[in-house]
Amino acid sequence: MLGVIDLPTYLAGLVLIVLLPGPNSLYVLSVAARKGIRTGYTAAAGVWCGDTVLMTLSAAGVASLLQANAVLFGIVKYAGAGYLTWLAVGMLRAAWGMWRTRYERAEESEAAAAPAAEERPYRRALVISLFNPKAILFFVAFFVQFVDPGYAYPALSFVVLGAFAQLASFLYLTALIFSGTKLAAAFRRRKRLSAGATTAAGALFLGFAVKLTLASA
**Rounded CA separation 147/125 (Å):** 29
- In this prediction, residue 121 carries a pLDDT of 92
- In this prediction, residue 173 carries a pLDDT of 93
- In this prediction, residue 48 carries a pLDDT of 93
- In this prediction, residue 167 carries a pLDDT of 93
- In this prediction, residue 217 carries a pLDDT of 53
Judged by phi (left if over 0) then psi (alpha if -120 to 50, else beta), residue 119 lies in alpha
Domain regions of the chain by residue span: 8-214
- In this prediction, residue 103 carries a pLDDT of 52
**Rounded CA separation 138/211 (Å):** 15
**Rounded CA separation 74/26 (Å):** 24
Is pTM beyond 0.75? Reply is no
In the chain (217 residues long), the average pLDDT of successive 10-residue segments reads: 80 78 82 87 94 81 63 71 74 71 49 53 90 68 70 78 90 89 63 67 72 64
A 10 A CB-CB count for 193 gives 15
Q: Is 158 exposed, middle or buried (0-12, 13-18, 19+ CB in 10 A)?
A: buried
- In this prediction, residue 107 carries a pLDDT of 45
**Rounded CA separation 190/41 (Å):** 25
